[in-house]
Amino acid sequence: MQRGVTLLELLIVLVIMAIVAAFTIPMFGGPVSTSQLRQAAREIAAGLRLAQSEAVSQRRETFLVVDVAGRRFKVDNDPREHKLPDKAELKLFTAQNDLVSDNVGAIRFYPDGGSNGGRITIASGSRKFDVDVDWLTGRVAILD
């Protein structure tokens, strides 16, 4: 008598493996890809640079307002509101007097190009990008 695996048994094993893979693979990948996080950090940095250039060119204080709970930000006089990935974690570190509430705050730029300084962190799982604003020069930098 010969022993072997039938085609039906092989197909059942393959189906079970596919079902297990369908449930476990999403657990290893974060909800937001690294490229999406990087793009969001670049978008935040561009918004900060826009706020700084508006402050210098218009000779007035300009703000980048961040809504942490709503995962969005807006430059002072710009009508556009920028939405960030829904599943990303967003944190804002800024001066106490620029916090509007627990979830909303701003980074302020002065007419000389300087800033109150701060950091906006966008993260997903263990991956994160920090967008830093130097308080003296207003320089914006993205840190991995």
Which CATH number fits the domain that encloses residue 107? 3.55.40.10
Is 118 a domain residue? Answer: yes
Residue 112 CA neighbour count, 13 Å, CB half = 6
pLDDT at 67: 96
Q: What is the pLDDT of residue 119?
A: 97
Return per-residue pLDDT of the chain as tens, 144 residues.
667 778 888 889 899 998 888 877 666 655 788 899 999 999 999 999 999 999 999 999 999 999 999 999 999 888 999 999 988 999 999 999 999 999 999 999 999 999 999 999 999 988 999 999 999 999 999 998
Q: Is residue 8 part of a domain?
A: no
Find the angle CA(102)-CA(104)-CA(110) to the nearest 5 degrees.
125
Query: Which residue range forms the structural domain that includes residue 60?
Result: 34-143
CA distance 31 to 88: 8
Question: What is the predicted pLDDT for the residue at 24?
Answer: 75
- Total number of domains in the chain: 1
Gap between the Cα atoms of 90 and 87, Å rounded? 9
* pLDDT value of residue 22: 81
Neighbours of 67 (CB within 10 A): 19
- Is position 58 within any domain? yes
pTM greater than the 0.85 cutoff: no
Domain-located, residue 120: yes
pLDDT on residue 28? 62
- Tell whether 77 is covered by a domain: yes
